[in-house]
Amino acid sequence: MKRKRRNHSASFKAKVALAAIRGEKTLAELSEQFDVHQNQIQGWRRKLLDQADRVFDHGGGIAPGSEHKVKELYAKIGQLTLERDFLEQGLERIHGPSGRK
């Protein structure tokens, strides 16, 4: 009977890949310990080694595609601030300087 397809978290993959890189145990032992096929462990290890340089990359804090989203959010903040100030002035006219009943 086939096993149901499993999705592993990124932290689990990293833990298994780091254990494989350390080399303290064989792939067979790691496969048995983490209940993952040896080919999968090798793939995660290879991916970690290939992309390890990105961990220490100083590429700035904002992803390239998110600049538009940041501008959109700042515009929304400005709009909400204006609306709040407008409503606050209306309450002051109705209920006095405290704006409360």
- Rounded CA-CA distance 19/35 in Å is 14
Which tens digit of pLDDT belongs to each residue from 49-98? 998 888 777 665 666 678 888 899 999 999 999 999 999 988 888 887 76
Q: What percentage of the chain reaches a pLDDT higher than 90?
A: 60
Which tens digit of pLDDT belongs to each residue from 28-40? 999 999 999 999 9
Model confidence, pTM: 0.55
- The burial class, CB within 10 Å (0-12 / 13-18 / 19+), for 38 is middle
CA distances from residue 37 to 6, 7, 41, 58 in whole angstroms, order as listed: 12, 13, 7, 35
Which tens digit of pLDDT belongs to each residue from 64-78? 678 888 899 999 999
